Amino acid sequence: MLTPSQILRLIYINIVLVRHGLDEVVFTIHLFRPIRFVLYLFPWHWFRRNGVPHGVRIRRALEDLGPIFIKFGQMLSTRRDILPDDIADELAKLQDSVPPFPGKQSILAIEKSFGKPVDQVFKFFDEIPMASASIAQVHRALLDDDSDVVVKILRPGIERVIRRDLGLLHVIAGLAHRYWRDGRRLRPKEVVLEYEKIILDELDLMREAANASQLRRNFENSPDLYIPKIFWPYTRRDVLVMERIKGIPISDIEQLRVHGIDLKKLSAQGVEIFFTQVFRHNFFHADMHPGNIFVSYDHPQDPQYLAVDFGIVGTLSSTDQRYLAENFVAFFNRNYLRVAELHLESGWVPASTRVDEFESAIRTVCEPIFQRPLNEISLGYLLLRLFQTARRFNMEVQPQLVLLQKTLLNIEGLGRQLDPQLDLWDTAKPFLEHWMDEQIGVRAMLAGFKKSFPAMAEKLPQMPELIYSVIKQAERGQANVEWYSEELKVIRNELNQAHRRTVTAIIFAVMLLLTGMFIFQ
């Protein structure tokens, strides 16, 4: 049930759309379509200025509606295959050109957080923001040791605004779940819950700083990706201070060319970085829109990515990792039967689904995309076709994979801009095959043993006594063990006779495994 404040918010959303000349959106809603003629009775419709481009009006409306809508526009800005160029260009301005809040408010926030004047915190603080985004904005500053840093500060009152819109999203998701035909399958309530967790985490800059530190460790000394240093003594929940990086925005293709950056290599590196984060580190930057990615100009023929804004990161369970990797490899090998089987094994489609029918549907969707350059493939179109297939087979949306899907869309958008001829599949396939080999081969077995060996070694001294105790209890009828057959009695007697040899056998097995581990490493 909508609360009065949520009803007022819905009314405000419609007012914003009307104010920016997007009232045609309101009157395309099924409820209002029969009274669309009323639009022509409104005075503002008579005197509307038609000089403002459609894309500008959409961008301004999203800016007025707040951070949740701005982030939606940011995601859309990378999808030039499904948006006209003029609208995509305008939405791209949402990535780092959101109207800033006054610098004096930034100073007040710093002084409140640190409990002292700003000139006692920083040697120099630039009141004019470098960039402004939907949740925070950044300023340049100098520390006492002359370290060049950027200071990220949350927008005043942003948590209240976000919680208000999240409440509205929860209501809409509940209505969709109850009344929409696809509501139960698409799980809108779970998706909103997942999004709520993500966006509320963004409001804690200490968490973002910790994310940045983890990514920095993961890519330490990497020639492909550089993560700036966090200055922990200067970081608070609403203020983050990190090393200032200098590079070319990934979206500025002209400047990349001017500096001689190898765009083809850069594009392939982006795909490899994504799969490295997801499958090797299981910790990935999940907000990789162009406003957060820069390129170092120090080594044009061996370019390096520079990343910022670590408020949204993602991880996957080992099960999801494994199923995703196997699905990707099966897709790359056009093994659609295996793709269908994996979906059944993972429970993503009902157990009653006919594998042969599902395989045929997947083949119909995916077969046309292979061995074609990226500029001839629309992942957005592919996802639409897969969505239609999912609807036919009652596939449920997996909320834990929403972040991964969003990040993959961003990666494709970046790749399309840098190198339209990039073959996404050929770039990713060798990486995934190598990862799968590590997961299921001899190396995987030895790595698993190496990981669990300390716990095993801790329990080894007690194992002979425990085994002997269980056998004696079974003989006295005290153990919760029932012997139903002569064969089991034979096994019991053999165990009873062999208990003195248990320690020797276990130690011998451990030594054998350790020897194998050193041989194969």
**Domain ranges (residues) in the chain:** 4-92, 159-199, 248-440, 442-520
Min mean pLDDT across 84-88, 235-239, 408-412, 473-477 is at 473-477
**Would you say residue 492 has pLDDT above 70?**
no
**In the annotation, is 287 catalytic?**
yes
Min mean pLDDT across 211-215, 355-359, 385-389 is at 385-389
Query: If you write DSSP's letter for every residue of 23-88 in order, what string do you get?
Result: HHHHTTSTTTGGGGGGGGGSHHHHS--TTS-HHHHHHHHHHHH-HHHHHHHHHHHT-TTTS-HHHH
**Would you say residue 52 has pLDDT above 50?**
yes
**Mean pLDDT, rounded, for 414-437:** 78
Maximum average pLDDT range among 77-86, 294-303, 379-388, 474-483: 294-303
Relative to beta strand 148-154, strand 239-243 is antiparallel
Closest Cα partner for 237 from 217, 215, 210, 213? 210
**Mean pLDDT, rounded, for 494-508:** 47
- Give the model's pLDDT for residue 452: 63
**Mean pLDDT, rounded, for 255-277:** 91
Min mean pLDDT across 20-24, 46-50, 393-397 is at 46-50
Q: Which residue has the tokens 């639409």?
A: 384
Closest Cα partner for 205 from 159, 160, 166, 162? 159
Distances (CA, A) of 345 to 72, 74, 333, 350, 355: 33, 35, 19, 10, 11
Q: Which amino acid is at 81?
A: D
- Give the model's pLDDT for residue 517: 40
- Give the model's pLDDT for residue 451: 62
- Give the model's pLDDT for residue 520: 39
3-class SS of residue 239: strand
Min mean pLDDT across 35-39, 94-98, 197-201, 211-215 is at 35-39
pLDDT digits (tens, 9 = 90+) for 300-331: 889 999 999 998 888 888 888 888 888 878 87
Check 23, 165, 238, 287 and give the catalytic one: 287
**Mean pLDDT, rounded, for 169-182:** 69
